[in-house]
Amino acid sequence: MLGSPCLLWLLAVTSLVPRAQPLAPQDFEEEEEDETETAWPPLPAVPCDYDHCRHLQVPCKELQRAGPAACLCPGLSSPAQPPDPPRMGEVLIAAEEGRAVVHWCAPFSPVLHYWLLLWDGSEAAQKGPPLNATVRRAELKGLKPGGVYVVCVVAANEAGASRVPQAGGEGLEGADIPAFGPCSRLAVPPNPRTLVHAAVGVGTALALLSCAALVWHFCLRDRWGCPRRAAARAAGAL
């Protein structure tokens, strides 16, 4: 009879202890999601390494796919509209070789290709070959020393081409060329070799004139005598 109260007491204590409940699959998924969010925080978005003025610049969309995280591309206008005019940059002129290297910056618009326009004082412009959309530098050849030109860069896509000032019809002097626009005026200096040859020619001519003047002077003195010697002789005779 003593064991029955102890047995009843054990049963009462066991009934008060909460039983462990089995975890459902949904509970495991929630725990895994919480651990993943805590261990891998999202990376902050940064601008892509894209420069509008860099020569052979990789398109920004390719930079987004190649990077470890998606970067931000600069805003562009709609591809259904013609591109904005590019901005002309530095122009390096080599007068000895009759050429110039032109740099420009891409517009904030989708561009498929570029080309250059060159005016040499006539109404008709010379159009260069199409250039890839990654190109930001081109070379002009056949420039005449001492000549004045107007060069413009044009951007184009499927909707059309960018605007260009009317430099050919108005002439080079009356053309309205903005300071940061798509065009630039080129004044090719004379060839340094030509200047050297001209200087040598002028120096040679001056040397010949000096020699001729000296010869003429000595010839006259021998013929008519030196005025100072004649005056001295006359004073001695007196």
Q: For the segment 61-88, what is each residue's pLDDT rounded down to a tens digit?
A: 899 888 777 889 998 999 999 999 999 9
DSSP per-residue letters across 69-97: SPPBPPP---TTSPPPPPEEEEEEEETTT
Over range 206-229, report the average pLDDT. 66
Q: Quote the percentage of the chain above a pLDDT of 70.
A: 61
Which helix or strand (DSSP H or E) is residue 152 part of?
strand 148-157
What is the DSSP secondary-structure string of 4-53?
A: HHHHHHHHHHHHHSPPPPPPPHHHHHHHHHHHHHHHSPPPPP-B-S--TT
> pLDDT tens digits, residue range 19-70?
545 555 555 455 555 554 555 566 677 899 999 999 999 999 899 888 777 8
Q: Is a pLDDT exceeding 60 seen at residue 117? A: yes
The mean pLDDT of 106-113, rounded to a whole number, is 96
Rg (CA), the chain: 44
Record the pTM: 0.64
The pLDDT assigned to 28 comes to 47
Residue 169: the pLDDT is: 47
CA 176/CA 184 separation, integer angstroms = 10
Q: Tell me the range of 9-18, 108-117, 194-203, 225-234 where mean pLDDT is highest.
A: 108-117
> Which range among 32-46, 56-70, 123-137, 140-154 shows the weakest confidence by mean pLDDT?
32-46
Q: Please tell me the distance from the alpha carbon of residue 183 to that of residue 67, in angstroms, as a whole number.
A: 36
Given a cut of 60, is residue 228 above it in pLDDT? Answer: no
Characterize the bridge pairing of strands 160-161 and 148-157. antiparallel
Predicted pLDDT of residue 12: 52
Q: Is the pLDDT of residue 155 over 80?
A: yes
Specify the 3-state DSSP secondary structure of 169.
helix
- How many CA atoms are closer than 13 Å to the CA of 56, on its beta-carbon side? 0
Cβ neighbours around 168 below 10 Å, total: 21
The average pLDDT across 170-178 equals 61
pLDDT score at 65: 87
* Higher-confidence position of 203 and 186: 186
d(CA 129, CA 115): 6
Give CA–CA dist 127/164, Å, rounded. 13
Average pLDDT value over all residues in the chain: 77
Q: Which of 130, 105, 107, 119 is nearest to 166 (CA)?
A: 119
Q: What's the rounded mean pLDDT across residues 199-219?
A: 70
* pLDDT over 50 (residue 168): no
Residue 2 has pLDDT above 50, yes or no: no
Q: Residue 130, exposed/middle/buried by CB under 10 A (0-12, 13-18, 19+)?
A: middle
